[in-house]
Structure 1
Amino acid sequence: MLEIGTTVLTVEDMHRAGEFWRAALGYVNRHEPGEDWVILDPPGGPRAGASIALSKTGYPQHYPPRLHLDIYADDQQAELERLRGLGARDVEWSGYPPDADYVVMEDTEGNRFCVVDAPEWF
């Protein structure tokens, strides 16, 4: 049996990325961050939801990335504004369908994610 345990995001600035993702998702460090690695868990622990890890790299992001996170929002507009306030940036993209329920953003390190309008999830 297999199970995805953690999604790893590569970063150049561990401190900045950790601050962003802890504030964005309300996650906590599983253990004290090292200089090049930390795992972030939901407040209820790793079995309470998906964990993410941050891994320091010595190279810049590649574009377009081959992987991104979908983050569900109960109030998409409020979350978009909050995430922008934390340092997330909107990604200009011409591929949105007319009925898109998501917005493409990137974190402080250039890792892309979609904020999906999903109030029914909550």
Structure 2
Amino acid sequence: MLTIGTIVLGVNDVAAAANVWNAAIGYVPREPGDDTWVTLVPASGPGAELSLQLSETPVQDHPRIHLDLYADDQAAEVDRLVSLGAQRVDWDLYPDDPDFVVLEDPDGNRFCVIDKSPR
């Protein structure tokens, strides 16, 4: 049987990316990392792990894999993430009434903030 161990993002600066993701989602290093790799885990307990790996590969405009972050207050979370260094993406594939906002981290890794507020 297989399970997903971690989700890996390629980044230009492992320490800077770790700081952004720590502030964004409250993840902390599982153990000390280095300039090439670190694995972040939820500070509050079990959950999906996020590894950051040094990479010189260009970022894709339409990535095949990305993170979906669920938000009870989407607008507030998008504003908070932008204040941490994320940027809004002028996404050309939005549907007519999207429940998500596309952002990118300082390295250009794109992710979505999904509106999970009670309807």
For 1:63 and 1:118, the matched residues in 2 are separated by 25
For 2:76 and 2:61, the matched residues in 1 are separated by 27
For 2:117 and 2:2, the matched residues in 1 are separated by 30
Name the residue aligned to 1:93: 91
User: Which residue of the other structure, out of 77, 80, 83, is the alignment partner of 2:81?
Assistant: 83
* Aligned length in residues: 118
Q: Which amino acid aligns with 1:72?
A: Y
Taking only the aligned residue pairs, the percentage that are identical comes to 51
Q: How does 1:61-80 map to 2 (within 5 A)?
A: 61-80=59-78
Q: List alignment gaps of at least 5 residues for structure 2.
A: none
Q: Which amino acid aligns with 1:31?
A: E
Q: Which runs of 4+ in 1 moved over 3 A?
A: none
Q: Is the 8 A contact 2:29 2:38 kept in 1?
A: yes
For 1:89 and 1:69, the matched residues in 2 are separated by 15
Name the TM-score, length of structure 2 as normaliser. Answer: 0.93
1:65-110 deviations in Å (ceiling 9; x for gaps):
2211100011101100000000000110122112211000100111
1:33-65 deviations in Å (ceiling 9; x for gaps):
2110000001134xx211100000133323322
For 1:41 and 1:61, the matched residues in 2 are separated by 24
User: What SS does structure 1 have at the residue aligned with 2:60?
Assistant: coil
User: Which residue of the other structure, out of 49, 52, 57, is the alignment partner of 1:51?
Assistant: 49
Q: List alignment gaps of at least 5 residues for structure 1.
A: none
Structure with more of its chain in helix, by fraction: 1
Name the residue aligned to 2:114: 116
